Each structure stands twice: as structure tokens, then as C-alpha cells.
Amino acid sequence: MANGRLAPVLRWLGLTMVVVLLLQMAAVLTGIDWSDETRRPQVIGPLVAIAPMGFMGLLIALIGSRLDLPEQRATPLRWIVCVLSAVLAIGMLAAVPLSLSSDGSEGPAAQRIDQGRKALEEARTIREDDKQVAAIGEQLAEAGQLAADATAEDKKRAAEQMIDLQITQMDEQLKSLETQQSRADNQRLIGGTGSAVVLAIAFVLLALCAVL
């Protein structure tokens, strides 16, 4: 009797979770500006993140079906679980190459890194140009940052020290940004690609369990 009352609840609970999954997937897909060709749509992460809810929903629905009709091997609900699991498994497998091909080179962090590299290159170019170094030395003298009797060599040395300090700071900031980007890439590889592979295997096993 307990199983007879529990089985319908489990079936509807599982199907409800699947419906919620489909609604969230629709929200993710419709919330993307597909006409924007300047940026690659970021759909892999959100879809992989919500896929476990679909797996749990299908599993709960299958358990409810097994409890309700343990003697029957194939029922309409089990075929639905099998088909949906197979579709989601294919989706997870398709997400793997997309996740691997996404190098994070289009995001704001990558743009900051690119800007930092250009600024650092410009600073090094200025450092190697004696005329620009001398001009900066004159600007420092006019701004009162040097002694009134500072010689041309003093001005040049002060300008070189200031530029070297700026280059050091810019280089440290660039290395920090590159480290953060590398960590983000590793997180995407593990959390996106790794999760997609595991979920694909789980959905395949669930599809087999539904019909065997």
C-alpha cells in the first residue's frame, strides 16, 4: 500500500523536475543575443549546471515507475525516460567539443589582458626612445618634481626611473590578470568539460536502466 501511494508521487515529482529543467533551458537559450557576432554565446556552462536536475527528475520518475509496475519491463513512462535521457546524453557529448574550443579569449578579462599587453609594449617602446625619455624628464622638471638646478642627465635618470617603475607595475598587473584567466580556464575545463562527460555517461546508463 505504501508503495502504491508513493509511486505516483515520485512519478509526478520527477516529471515536474524535468519540466522545470526544460523551462530553465528555454530561459537560457532565449536570453542570449544570437545576433551579436562579436561574442560567442556562453551556453555550455549554464546548461551543464542545470542538467543534474534533469537527471534527478528522470531517475525519480523511473523509480516511481518501477515501484508502481515492477513486473513490466517497458511502459510509456519508461520509454519517455529513455528517450529524454538519450537526448540529454547527446547534448552533453555535443557540449564537450564546444567547451574545449572555448578559450575565454572573448570575455572582459581577456580584453583587459590584451589592453595591458599593448600598454606594456608602448611603455617599453618609450623607455627605449631617448627623445621621449628626455621629454618626460623635462615635464618632470617643469612640474617641480626635480631640483631647479637638475642637469639633463638628472632629468633623464629621473624619467628612466619613473618609466621603469611604471613598467614593473604594469608587468605585475598583467601577470596577475593572466594568472586569474588561467585559473578561470582550468575551472571551465574541469567544471564544464569534465561535468559534461560524467553527465553524458550518467544519462546513457539511465536510458539503459529505463528499458532493461
* Per-residue model confidence as pLDDT tens digits over 115-169: 888 998 998 898 888 888 888 888 888 888 877 777 888 888 888 899 999 999 9
Q: Which long-range contacts (CB under 8 A, 24 or more apart) does 171-178 make?
A: 171/120, 173/116, 174/113, 174/116, 174/117, 174/120, 177/109, 177/112, 177/113, 177/116, 178/113
Same domain, 176 and 201: no
All cell numbers assigned to 35: 545576433
Radius of gyration of the chain (CA): 30
Q: Whole-model pTM above 0.75?
A: no
Per-residue pLDDT for 1 more than 50?
no
Same domain, 10 and 97: yes
Comparing 33-42, 70-79, 129-138, 180-189, the range with the smallest average pLDDT is: 33-42
Same domain, 139 and 201: no
All cell numbers assigned to 85: 535521457
Same domain, 17 and 87: yes
Same domain, 99 and 198: yes
Give the tens place of pLDDT for each residue, 46-60: 888 888 999 999 999
Same domain, 57 and 95: yes
**Residue 25 neighbours by CB under 8 Å, 6+ apart:** 47, 50
**Mean per-residue pLDDT of the chain:** 83
Give the tens place of pLDDT for each residue, 102-114: 555 556 677 888 8
Comparing 9-23, 55-69, 73-87, 102-116, the range with the smallest average pLDDT is: 102-116
The confidence score (pLDDT) of residue 89 equals 92
Cell 520518475 belongs to which residue? 61
Q: Check if the beta carbon of residue 193 is closer than 8 Å to that of residue 97.
A: no
The percent helix, strand, coil of the chain (3-state, each to 5) is 80, 0, 20
Give the DSSP H/E element, type plus range, for residue 206. Answer: helix 195-211
Same domain, 134 and 69: no
The confidence score (pLDDT) of residue 16 equals 92
